[in-house]
Structure 1
Amino acid sequence: MTATDPALTALAQGWCALSALHGRIEAHIERALQAKHDLSVREYSLLDVLSRQHDGEGGHLQMKQVADAVVLSQSATTRLVTRLEDRGLLERYLCPTDRRGIYTNVTPAGLRLLEEARPTNDAALREALDDAAQNPELAPLVRVVESLNVPA
């Protein structure tokens, strides 16, 4: 393929549209969460991921798994955890079976904030998708997102 190859151009245009959709959605949700809950999209995402942990086999995530789930580097995830821990929303403790491992749990205050913020997140997501659906370049991507049935 060359730089002027139509397939490459179409691929680049598709990527740009996907990136634009993501950016618009994230910015809309960010504004809503900040305004109503003093919470960033990344903080909300981290609380949401960690709130789904359980005490069963494989129920607690290692920091690398958490970082992958929130799409951040391990160092950025650690800083985010520290920030939320300082706010009393998370707590860390040593893994009972491997003293090198550190687990992170959402505190009751963190669970309350997450529960309060979830409707805001969901409404902002719906609003952002509805707005993007009006854009002819983004509408096909919105339909794909809406058709996904990803298990929680």
Structure 2
Amino acid sequence: MATADPALASLSQGWCALSLLHGKVESHVERALESEHGLSVREFSLLDVLSRQHKGSGGHLQMKQVAEAVVLSQSATTRLVTRLEDRGLLRRHLCDTDRRGIYTEVTEEGRSLLAEARPIHDIALREAFDSAAENPVLAPLVRTVEKFQSPA
């Protein structure tokens, strides 16, 4: 049954295109990271987010913030942290000022693996976007994403 509202139909088509782009990019990057470094995209993202923390005031993220950054539920994030901790890539410790707070930080082994995996991640990401740009439905989305830049 077709949608009577053309604006909703257009929105739905846009969402489908965005979902397709995300799926294609994520699966390509996932295959590259897994085959080269035994990391999933989520594991890489978690290591990346946590590696950007710093010691001192305001330097640590709460697990809720980490979950939001890697787009997972808090329970899924906790399971992911546990898997990486079991591999020696992360460690958890209690907050000095609030015993309820648990911080997670990347170990030297985790930082090393992240540094090794980053070029593979970046190459696979570029390949995935270049491939998607060849699809006329996805090309406008690719151009939009490519306009985003980190603040200087």
Q: What TM-score bracket applies, with the shorter chain setting the length?
A: over 0.9
User: What is the alpha-carbon distance in structure 2 between the residues aligned to residue 115 and residue 78 of structure 1?
Assistant: 23
User: What is the alpha-carbon distance in structure 2 between the residues aligned to residue 6 and residue 56 of structure 1?
Assistant: 52
User: What is the alpha-carbon distance in structure 2 between the residues aligned to residue 73 and residue 46 of structure 1?
Assistant: 13
**Residue in structure 1 matched with residue 65 of structure 2 by the alignment:** 65
Unpaired stretches in structure 1, ≥5 consecutive residues: none
User: What is the alpha-carbon distance in structure 1 between the residues aligned to residue 105 and residue 147 of structure 2?
Assistant: 32
Aligned-residue identity in percent: 74
**Residue in structure 1 matched with residue 118 of structure 2 by the alignment:** 118
TM-score by length of 1: 0.97
**SS of equivalent residue, structure 1 residue 61:** coil
User: What is the alpha-carbon distance in structure 1 between the residues aligned to residue 151 and residue 78 of structure 2?
Assistant: 26
User: What is the alpha-carbon distance in structure 1 between the residues aligned to residue 150 and residue 5 of structure 2?
Assistant: 34
Per-residue Cα deviation, 1:106-139 (whole angstroms, up to 9, x for no partner): 0000000000000000000000000000000000
User: What is the alpha-carbon distance in structure 1 between the residues aligned to residue 3 and residue 89 of structure 2?
Assistant: 49
**Residue in structure 2 matched with residue 8 of structure 1 by the alignment:** 8
**SS of equivalent residue, structure 1 residue 99:** coil
**Residue in structure 1 matched with residue 99 of structure 2 by the alignment:** 99
Larger mean CA deviation between 4-13 and 84-93 belongs to 4-13
Question: Runs of at least 4 residues of structure 1 off by over 4 A?
Answer: none
TM-score by length of 2: 0.97
User: What is the alpha-carbon distance in structure 2 between the residues aligned to residue 37 and residue 63 of structure 1?
Assistant: 25
User: What is the alpha-carbon distance in structure 2 between the residues aligned to residue 59 and residue 108 of structure 1?
Assistant: 18
